[in-house]
Structure 1
Amino acid sequence: MSDLYLPPCCTTLSDHWPLPLALPGVQLISTRFDPARLSAVDFERSGIAAVSGVAKRQTEYLAGRLCAREALRRVTGTASVPAVGTDRAPQWPTEVSGSITHGSNWAGALAGHASTWRGLGLDVERRLAPARAERLAAQILTPAELQRLLDLAPEQRATRVSLTFSLKESLFKALYPLVLQRFYFQDAELLSCHADGSARLRLLIKLGSDWPVGSELDGQFVEFDGFLLSLIAIPA
């Protein structure tokens, strides 16, 4: 039953790829979730270890793991659930790269063979309101990124801050499993983002021998239903 059961708090799992550029061999699975519909038996019936916390925390975790299990099933043939490491990061099978994200009642996970993709980072965010974006901008953006905001209207500035936040979250998710070194918003900068959903980022610190200062990585993003979804994929 655990492989088939979908709790009422989650919508039918979707394999729709909303981002502009599909990645060969990578599966993205998503669902929408409603914490008000979470039941005490949903974790057990889903075959997923329960977590503590308020209903929102529990439901987003469950939804993310259900997506990850289906993504892994499609990539490897085995419907396993990533455990939680001591660093709180999902523990994927050694032959797989993957990422989980959730926010504002949407959850998604992607997985691909590590022989093709060294790292995958996925992040979903609600677009920040202009006032909140202004308050957070200096924490998220480097001085150079802040300078590039000056000519933008308030709504455009809010979108750029939100997008930069999401892309840097995706960058961390893609790189951290490879370098096992924490880094922060000021340690990378968004060089460019375009209407076609492409983006490019640059590291401002060294992250091991493979990632010197100045290393550049490609990303992509899409906006849908008020969400910003971003992805950083590092080819093998």
Structure 2
Amino acid sequence: MTHQALIDMHSRSNGFLSDIGAKDSLVPGAVLVAASYETAAFSQSLFDALDILCPDTLDRAVDKRRADYLAGRAMASAAMALLEHPPASVTTTPGRAPLWPEGLAGSISHARGRCACLLSRDTSRSYGVDTEAIASGRSLTAILTETLNPTERDRIAKGPLPAAINATLTFSAKESLFKALYPQVGRHFGFDAAELIAPPTSDSLALSLTTDLTETLPKGRRFDIHHRVTDSHVLTWLSVPAP
């Protein structure tokens, strides 16, 4: 998919998608695509317009849930085309993770009007991407009290970025890490399974495991996570080698 084709996707979305663009993934062999989407512009007909299969599981879903799903799968479609992979549906596992076509591995995220996909042909690695609206008010309080421990709360108050952005980045990074590690761990684990090592820098942050998740994912294992910050959202992503 060329950049002109990204523009064509925007046109076919009839105002639902905007600002569609390929980002520098900083992950060898992986593509990263992100966009904005407008829930108010969603209509069921957009699934056909964008050549995205609407699953039966969304039959009774509200429009917001359908819009979120469509936005994420549209990014997956764009990422596949950038990798010159034939168009294919991305279904969902029982654990609600994307089920990628053979020969692909990746991750999808959507949150409050932003969506993203990190995708690669390298299936020897697993991938995680997450986008979040910069937290404030109750959302920020929830992150501070439910996601971060006292040491992390001290660390987000330092560094070059505002504390609210650091808090959101840490939350997002833990989401990305969960997505990347879930294929190896095979079970859910909490936010307390990883801890922010130091204040985020202008383009990355590091987490370390606080517990043994598997024999190959021991306590103390460090993960460096890329990030980007806009006026309204953060984006975090990483890849992890398979054991």
TM range (shorter): 0.7 to 0.9
Matched, 1:96 2:100: no
Residue 24 (structure 1) shift: 2.0
Counterpart amino acid of 1:89? A
Q: Deviations over 1:58-87 (max 9, x none)?
A: 111101101102212332521112101111
- SS of alignment partner, residue 120 of structure 1: strand
Calculate percent identity across the aligned residue pairs: 29
- 1:22-76 per-position Cα deviation (integer Å, ceiling 9, x unaligned): 2222111222222222223222342412424222211111011011022123325
Q: Of 18, 40, 47, which aligns to 1:43?
A: 47
Aligned residue in 1 for 2:132: 125
In the superposition, relative to structure 1, how do residues 147 and 31 fare at CA in structure 2: closer, same or farther (>3 Å)?
Answer: closer
Q: Taking structure 1 as the reference length, what is the TM-score of the superposition?
A: 0.85
- 2:155 aligns to what? 148
Moved more, 187-196 or 94-103: 187-196
Closer, same or farther: CA 146–81 of 1 in aligned 2, 3 Å: same
For these two proteins, the number of residue pairs brought into alignment is 228
- Code of the aligned partner of 1:23: V
**1:16 correspondence with 2:22:** yes
- Alignment-mate amino acid for residue 134 of structure 2: R
**SS of the residue aligned with 1:148?**
helix
Question: Which structure has the higher relative contact order (CA within 8 Å, separation 6+)?
Answer: 1
CA contact (8 A) 1:31 1:106 kept: yes
Distance 1:217 1:98 in 2: 17
Q: CA RMSD, aligned part only?
A: 2.5
- Please list every run of at least 4 consecutive aligned residues from structure 1 whose deviation after the TM superposition is greater than 6 angstroms: none
Q: Distance in 2 between matches of 1:214 and 1:84?
A: 31
Partners of 1:204 and 1:91 lie apart in 2 by 29
Alignment-derived partner of residue 87 in structure 2: 79
Corresponding residue SS for 2:213:
coil
Whole-Å separation in 2 of the counterparts to 1:72 and 1:23? 16
Tell me the alpha carbon deviations over residues 155-200 of structure 1, each in whole angstroms, 9 at most, x when there is no partner. 9332222111010001011111222121111111011244331211
- SS of 1:181 mapped into structure 2: coil
Counterpart residue number, 1:167: 173
- In the alignment, structure 1 residue 216 sits paired with structure 2 residue 222: yes
Q: How far apart, in 1, do the equivalents of 2:37 and 2:211 lie?
A: 37
Corresponding residue for 2:240? 234
CA separation in 1, counterparts of 2:116 and 2:155?
Answer: 31
Query: Structure 2: which 5+ runs fail to align?
Result: 1-7
TM-score using structure 2 length: 0.83
* Cα deviation, residue 134, structure 1: 3.2
Q: Is the 8 A contact 1:121 1:232 kept in 2?
A: yes
- Cα gap change, 1:202 to 1:111, in 2 (>3 Å): same
Partner Cα separation in structure 2 for residue 94 and residue 217 of structure 1: 27
Over residues 60-118 of structure 1, what are the superposed CA-to-partner deviations in whole Å (9 max), with x where a residue is unaligned?
11011011022123325211121011111111134322011111211111201234x61
Contact map agreement 1:145 1:189 (CA 8 A) in 2? yes
The question of 1:182 aligning with 2:208 is answered: no
SS in 2 for 1:212: coil
Which stretches in structure 1 are left out of the alignment for 5+ residues?
none
